[in-house]
Amino acid sequence: MKNKQKILFISGSPREGNTNFVLKQVHDLIDNDYKELIFLKDLNISHCKGCLSCHEKPKCIIKDDMEMLYKKMINSDIFVIGSPNYFDNVSGIMKKFMDRCHPFYKQDIIKDKKIILIFVGGGEIEGTEKYLNLSFYGFVKYLKLKLIDSYSFRALELNDIKSKDISNDISKITEKINSL
Ligand SMILES: Cc1cc2nc3c(=O)[nH]c(=O)nc-3n(C[C@H](O)[C@H](O)[C@H](O)COP(=O)(O)O)c2cc1C
């Protein structure tokens, strides 16, 4: 059945590798009225300057591609966010994106939107699942998002994920999204 909710997929890998592959698979299988897959690596996003002017006004002073992304996020119901594991943390571009979401904080602008997390690490899945969830802990908490679930994959080299049978995991994720 077609899902009426708007889903925004955001990938934080700087390469065309495993995280992008998983997100694309899920994106392509979902039959929604609105879905869009954004690759942070293709956008011009500078780092948060920490000026806190977004505490006064719900806007960022920096003019870059986050302006477009803010609008898309406000117009979405569900975020599916993917990041590679970098030193048991999110990638640098993912962290830049997360910090730049600070304008959503004070005014609860994206409060109650649902979020699904997808992680890929080269090492043991348990570590990736644990530490990347911790990396998103404050993001989910302070933006008052509803964390639906997280899914971790193990793949190291660029195309490793393609040689694995991840069809069951992809079905699990799409079923979860369809149930929302
Ligand atoms: C800078 C850097 C740090 C990494 N640190 C870890 C790590 O701490 N744990 C881990 O499991 N994998 C680590 N990896 C491996 C990546 O998670 C792995 O290559 C993954 O497939 C990258 O996802 P991608 O193909 O979507 O970019 C690291 C890779 C890089 C480049």
17 C-alpha vs ligand 1 centroid, how far in Å? Answer: 11
Q: How many degrees, rounded to 5, is the angle at CA 9 between CA 59 and CA 1?
A: 125
Residue-wise pLDDT tens digits, 57-79: 999 999 999 999 999 999 999 99
pLDDT, position 33 = 82
User: What's the total number of domains in the chain?
Assistant: 1
By alpha-carbon position, which residue is closest to atom 1 of ligand 1?
A: 86
CATH number of the domain residue 65 falls in: 3.40.50.360
Tell me the residue length of the chain.
Answer: 180
CA 147 to ligand 1 center in whole angstroms: 23
Residue 42's Cβ-count burial label (10 Å; 0-12, 13-18, 19+) is exposed
Residue 157 Cα to ligand 1 middle (Å):
9
Residue 130 is predicted with a pLDDT of 98
Structural domain for 82, as ranges: 3-178
H helices present in 50-124, as ranges: 66-74, 92-99
Residue 81 has a CB neighbour count (10 Å cut-off) of: 26
Taking the complete model, does pTM exceed 0.75, yes or no? yes
Give residues (CB < 6 A) around ligand 1. 13, 15, 17-19, 84-88, 120-123, 128, 155-156
Which residue, by CA, sits nearest to atom 2 of ligand 1? 86
Q: pLDDT tens digits for 22-45?
A: 999 999 999 888 999 999 999 999
